[in-house]
């Protein structure tokens, strides 16, 4: 089969590799029908995730068709159409009992990280029964693939960890796919105002269609005053950091009001400064996290009923043999206006 293979920082290729095989009785093999590229894949390619080694097939998002099942798999059968979750979990360890599937003692985030991933024609999924979600009839691949990672990430690590409650003013720093996912789902918890913050005017325009009620261009000299004017000078109840660089983390801590929450969603490749000398007196809570996908079944119901429309993230479309072009487009999102690139067989 063909797959997108990582060969060290800034090196990747679409090449012929061996087909995956069943290793454990709980495995299945999935024919990947639709996949996409995540910002985490770009972090890997920059060398920010040294646990990813030369020869690894990248990708942790996808929708596909089961072609083979292990001997212990009884709830899934060949031919089932499934959403591949970015997190695989055994479902029975102490962390899985706490719904912290990302910290599963036997799996977690391993697809496209510690084992081969979904940017390939076929992929092996361990602990399949607790790691795959059957695709409801009528739900498009373009909507379903967003449930692999970005929608539950924005909701769980941004909105839920941020403790958003009815009436809150929420600011999302960064209007990329995960930031937009937080905006799309903040209304589920009753946010009264959702402020998108970004340097890119196109992204800010997009944010209005994903749930933002207001937008602030942080490249302007008076951006902080503009935001504070929206909050009666108090600051926001919840600041969601969705970029992963020191400057945006600092911004999130500066705009949150006393008693508020900073929810860090961004993947950081370098250290950030925590100005505890300023924050200790403000009763600020700072949360971090890796998505556990524990809310995927709930979000899937909302998507199937048309209450959430994540297919709007699909901005560019490619076939597998053009995956290198897809990476080029996605990596130049400011120029290409890419949100999520859809890659199909």
What mean pLDDT do residues 61-68 have?
98
Whole-model pTM? Answer: 0.95
Are the C-beta atoms of 17 and 2 separated by less than 8 Å?
Answer: yes
The CATH code of the domain that includes 214 is 3.40.50.720
Q: How far apart are the first and last CA of the chain?
A: 12
Final residue of a structural domain among 247, 266, 287:
287
Domain span at residue 108 reads: 2-149+292-344
CB-side exposure of 147: number of CA atoms within 13 Å? Answer: 29
How do residues 80-101 score in pLDDT, each as one tens digit? 999 999 999 999 999 999 999 9
What mean pLDDT do residues 118-131 have?
98
Transcribe 20-47 into DSSP letters: P---STT-EEEEEEEE---HHHHHHHHT
| Cβ contacts of 277 within 8 Å, gap of 6 or more | none
- Cα–Cα distance list, 160 to 164, 277, 302, 323, 331 (Å): 6, 27, 16, 34, 29
- Output the pLDDT for position 26: 97
Are the C-beta atoms of 27 and 20 separated by less than 8 Å?
Answer: no
User: In what helix (H) or strand (E) does residue 257 lie, and over which residues does it extend?
Assistant: strand 256-264
Same domain membership, residue 303 and residue 269: no
- Output the pLDDT for position 213: 98
Same domain membership, residue 198 and residue 174: yes
What mean pLDDT do residues 198-217 have?
96
How do residues 132-141 score in pLDDT, each as one tens digit? 999 999 999 9
Average pLDDT, the chain: 96
What mean pLDDT do residues 121-147 have?
97
pLDDT above 90 covers what percent of the chain?
A: 97
Q: Classify 274 as helix, strand or coil.
A: coil
| Cβ contacts of 158 within 8 Å, gap of 6 or more | 172, 178, 179, 181, 182, 185, 186, 240, 242, 263, 265
Number of structural domains the chain divides into? 2
Nearest Cα to Cα of residue 189 among 214, 228, 161, 213: 161
Same domain membership, residue 192 and residue 97: no
Number of H helices, E strands in the chain: 12, 15
Q: Classify 142 as helix, strand or coil.
A: helix
C-alpha to C-alpha distance for 314 and 322, rounded to whole angstroms: 16
Are the C-beta atoms of 341 and 41 separated by less than 8 Å?
Answer: no
How do residues 328-345 score in pLDDT, each as one tens digit? 999 999 899 999 999 999
- Output the pLDDT for position 269: 80
How do residues 18-53 score in pLDDT, each as one tens digit? 999 999 999 999 999 999 999 999 989 998 889 999
How do residues 247-298 score in pLDDT, each as one tens digit? 999 999 999 999 999 999 998 888 999 999 999 999 999 999 999 999 999 9
Q: Which residue has the tokens 């700072």?
A: 286
The CATH code of the domain that includes 21 is 3.90.180.10
pLDDT at 189 over 90: yes
Final residue of a structural domain among 270, 287, 304:
287
- Output the pLDDT for position 118: 98
Same domain membership, residue 144 and residue 6: yes
């Amino acid at each position: 089969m063909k797959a997108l293979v990582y060969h060290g920082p800034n090196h990747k290729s679409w090449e012929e590799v061996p087909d995956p095989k069943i290793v454990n009785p709980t495995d299945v093999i999935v024919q990947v029908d639709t996949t996409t590229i995540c910002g985490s894949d770009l972090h890997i390619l920059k060398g920010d995730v040294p646990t990813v080694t030369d020869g690894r097939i990248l990708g942790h998002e996808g929708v596909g068709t089961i072609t083979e099942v292990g001997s212990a798999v009884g709830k899934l059968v060949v031919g089932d159409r499934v959403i591949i979750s970015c997190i695989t979990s055994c479902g029975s360890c102490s962390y899985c009992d706490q719904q912290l599937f990302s910290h599963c003692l036997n799996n977690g985030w391993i697809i496209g990280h510690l084992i081969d991933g979904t940017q390939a024609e076929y992929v092996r999924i361990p602990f399949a029964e607790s790691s795959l979600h059957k695709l409801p009839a009528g739900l498009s691949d373009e909507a379903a693939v967003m449930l692999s990672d970005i929608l539950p990430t924005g909701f769980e690590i941004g909105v839920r960890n941020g403790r958003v409650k009815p009436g809150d003013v929420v600011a999302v720093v960064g209007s990329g796919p995960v930031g937009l996912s937080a905006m799309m789902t903040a209304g589920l918890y009753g946010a009264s105002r959702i402020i998108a913050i970004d340097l890119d005017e196109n992204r800010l325009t997009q944010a209005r269609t994903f749930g933002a009620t207001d937008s602030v261009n942080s490249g302007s000299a008076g951006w902080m005053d503009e935001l504070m004017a929206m909050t009666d000078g108090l600051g926001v109840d919840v600041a969601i950091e969705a970029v992963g660089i020191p400057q945006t983390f600092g911004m999130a801590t500066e705009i949150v009001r006393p008693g508020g929450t900073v929810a860090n969603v961004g993947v950081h490749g370098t250290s950030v400064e925590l100005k505890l000398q300023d924050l200790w007196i403000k009763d600020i809570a700072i949360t971090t996290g890796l998505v556990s996908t524990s809310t995927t079944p709930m979000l899937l119901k909302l998507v199937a009923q048309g209450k959430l429309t994540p297919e709007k993230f699909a901005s560019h479309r490619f076939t597998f043999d053009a995956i290198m072009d897809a990476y080029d487009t996605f990596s130049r999102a400011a120029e290409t206006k890419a949100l999520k690139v859809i890659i199909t067989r």
